[in-house]
């Protein structure tokens, strides 16, 4: 092999090794000897502390947020959701932001416009005024992201900040959705998409005569998840709609639980069970698993639980 070719190959190998280094180091840093994907689940009436514990069970926020990093929060707290049980609770969002700040994040921002009364929904908002005041909202614009491996969509308009933050933390709520049965980690990516793109997910199928093409919607959501996998998902399963979602009003189930993990497919499998569905009944989950975004094998994961009671 010529020297130049050798150096070129070595450089390529080195680059690949470097790219995988962060994944490898995270796996090595996980508490406890496990190569299985880890999900944490914490039950308790204090949702702020449950959130802290859920991430602690994964090894702490320091595994995901390094000092000086920028952190984007994809939290399901848009202004158009007004009924409790339809949006992620402020306690869960705030605890996540606090952990990111304590880990040394230099900037924390939301990836969508949040409800104006987000922080006043909980007295903790006032208690953490300094932190709350420092969290900003992404300013956009939306950029067209190519999705070559997409099966339903080949591109999507997504907020550019999604790709510019060092760390992406997904904060969905496991609630009922009339169109997809369940909305959780995977569907929450629509929060980073433009309204036009989201409507296309619902109506872009070329299947003639269809009032709605549920398969297209599910596949489009799975395709959109290819653009960037969250570094961490912190899921609100405290109090959520079990019917008439996504906007309600509807019956609210009080599970008092917070989940956390790095595999959005696996987490959504737990979400499906909360709604008395098998993961295989949720098309989005199957489509995302088929893309390799995560695993549906709940038996092959390490579940770490705690009750703060």
Partner 1 sequence: MSSSAARFRTLTVLACLASGFTAKAVPADYLPGAADLPGWSQEEKPRTFTQDTLWDLMDGGAEVYLEYGVEGAASVRYKHPSKGNVQVDIYAMKDAGAAFGIYSFNSRTKGSPVQIGDEALLTDYYVLVRKGAHFFTVTAGSDPVAAMPSCLEFARAIAARIPAVVGKPELLSRLPTLAGASLHHVYFRGSLGLLNLYPFGDADPFKAAEGVAAETEGTQFFILRHADEKEAAARYESAWAVLAANSKYKAGKGQPGEQCLIDGNGKFLLLTRNGACNLIAIGADQAALHGLLQQVLGAQKP
Given the complex with partner 1, which of 44 and 250 has the nearer CB atom?
250
For the chain, how many residues are written? 309
Q: Which stretch binds partner 1 (CB under 8 A): 17-25, 65-73, 122-130, 238-246?
A: 238-246
Given the complex with partner 1, which of 177 and 228 has the nearer CB atom?
177
**Smallest distance from partner 1 to CB 283, Å:** 4
Say whether residue 6 binds partner 1 (CB under 8 A).
Answer: no
Task: Classify residue 44 as left (phi > 0), alpha (psi -120 to 50) or beta.
Answer: left
Strand partners of residue 71: 108, 167
Q: C-alpha 282: how far from its chain's center?
A: 17
| Options 36, 62, 70, 83; binder of partner 1; rule CB under 8 A | 83
Start-to-end C-alpha separation, the chain: 65
Token match 């961490």: residue? 232
Lookup: tokens for 176: 């009922």
**Smallest distance from partner 1 to CB 153, Å:** 16
Strand 136-137 and strand 107-110: the pairing is parallel
Given the complex with partner 1, which of 40 and 183 has the nearer CB atom?
183
Given the complex with partner 1, which of 59 and 215 has the nearer CB atom?
215
**Smallest distance from partner 1 to CB 278, Å:** 6
Given the complex with partner 1, which of 137 and 281 has the nearer CB atom?
281
Token match 């496990």: residue? 34
Q: Could you say which residues in the range 244-303 bind partner 1, by CB under 8 A?
A: 244-251, 277-278, 280-283, 286
Q: Could you say which residues in the range 177-216 bind partner 1, by CB under 8 A?
A: 177-181, 190, 195, 198-199, 202, 211-212, 214-215
The enclosing H or E element of 305 equals strand 302-307
| Options 218, 220, 233, 296; binder of partner 1; rule CB under 8 A | 218
**Smallest distance from partner 1 to CB 36, Å:** 23
CA distances from 265 to 104, 201, 286, 300 (A): 28, 19, 8, 13
Q: Are 243 and 176 in contact (CB under 8 A)?
A: yes
**Smallest distance from partner 1 to CB 78, Å:** 9
The enclosing H or E element of 171 equals strand 167-171
Q: Could you say which residues in the range 93-112 bind partner 1, by CB under 8 A?
A: none
# of chain residues touching partner 1 (CB under 8 A): 34
Q: Are 255 and 42 in contact (CB under 8 A)?
A: no
Q: Are 184 and 271 in contact (CB under 8 A)?
A: yes
Q: Which residues bind partner 1 (CB under 8 A)?
A: 80, 82-83, 177-181, 190, 195, 198-199, 202, 211-212, 214-215, 218, 243-251, 277-278, 280-283, 286
């Amino acid at each position: 092999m010529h020297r130049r070719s050798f150096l070129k190959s070595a450089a390529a190998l080195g680059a690949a090794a470097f790219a995988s280094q962060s994944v490898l180091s995270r796996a090595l840093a996980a508490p406890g000897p496990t190569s299985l994907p880890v999900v944490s689940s914490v039950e308790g009436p204090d949702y702020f502390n449950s959130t802290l514990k859920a991430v602690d069970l994964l090894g702490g926020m320091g595994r995901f947020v390094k000092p000086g990093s920028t952190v984007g929060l994809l939290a399901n707290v848009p202004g158009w959701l007004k009924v409790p049980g339809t949006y992620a609770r402020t306690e869960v969002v705030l605890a996540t932001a606090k952990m990111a700040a304590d880990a040394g994040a230099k900037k924390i921002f939301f990836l969508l416009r949040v409800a104006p009364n987000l922080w006043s929904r909980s007295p903790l908002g006032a208690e953490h005024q300094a932190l709350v005041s420092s969290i900003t909202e992404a300013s956009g614009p939306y950029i067209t992201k190519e999705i070559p491996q997409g099966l339903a969509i080949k591109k999507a308009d997504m907020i550019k900040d999604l790709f510019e933050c060092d760390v992406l933390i997904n904060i969905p709520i496991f609630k009922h959705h009339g169109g997809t049965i369940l909305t959780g980690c995977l569907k929450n990516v629509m929060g980073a998409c433009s309204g036009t793109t989201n409507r296309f997910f619902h109506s872009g199928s070329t299947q003639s005569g269809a009032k709605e093409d549920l398969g297209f919607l599910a596949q489009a959501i799975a395709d959109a998840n290819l653009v960037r996998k969250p570094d961490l998902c912190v899921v609100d399963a405290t109090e959520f709609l079990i019917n008439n979602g996504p906007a309600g009003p509807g019956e609210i189930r009080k599970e008092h639980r917070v989940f956390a993990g790095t595999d959005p497919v696996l987490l959504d499998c737990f979400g499906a069970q909360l709604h008395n569905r098998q993961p295989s009944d949720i098309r989005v989950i199957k489509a995302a698993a088929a893309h390799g975004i995560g695993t549906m094998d709940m038996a092959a994961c390490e579940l770490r639980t705690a009750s703060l009671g």
